[in-house]
Amino acid sequence: DTTGYANPAQVGRLFKALRAEVGARAGGAHFHNTRGQGLANVVAALEVGVDTFDASQGGLGGCPYAPGATGNIVTEDLV
């Protein structure tokens, strides 16, 4: 979710479909918290079997390809 615009319903549908196609090889998730949905998206991904997530200490970072995007979800909140 490079720009942080995904919502939990979209995340659930995406990973459910992806896992149906490729199984556990579907990989992990990378969420930003641009609209305050980062942790809710983690919960949606967990519910369909995703267990690996990118996060950053203090929410630092951003994305050079998406100006204005916030950093990844905050590690301190995730754990």
If DSSP states are collapsed to H, E and C, what string results for the chain? CCCCCCCHHHHHHHHHHHHHHHHHHHCCEECECCCCCHHHHHHHHHHCCCCCEECEHHHCCCCCCCCCCCCECEHHHHC
Which of 40, 63, 66, 78 is the catalytic position? 63
Q: 63 an active-site residue?
A: yes
Handedness of CA 19, 59, 2, 62 (dihedral sign): negative
Write down the domain spans for the chain.
8-78
pLDDT digits (tens, 9 = 90+) for 19-60: 899 887 778 999 988 888 999 999 999 999 999 999 988 877
62: number of Cβ within 10 Å: 16
> Can you give the pTM of this predicted structure?
0.86
- 2: tokens are 């490079």
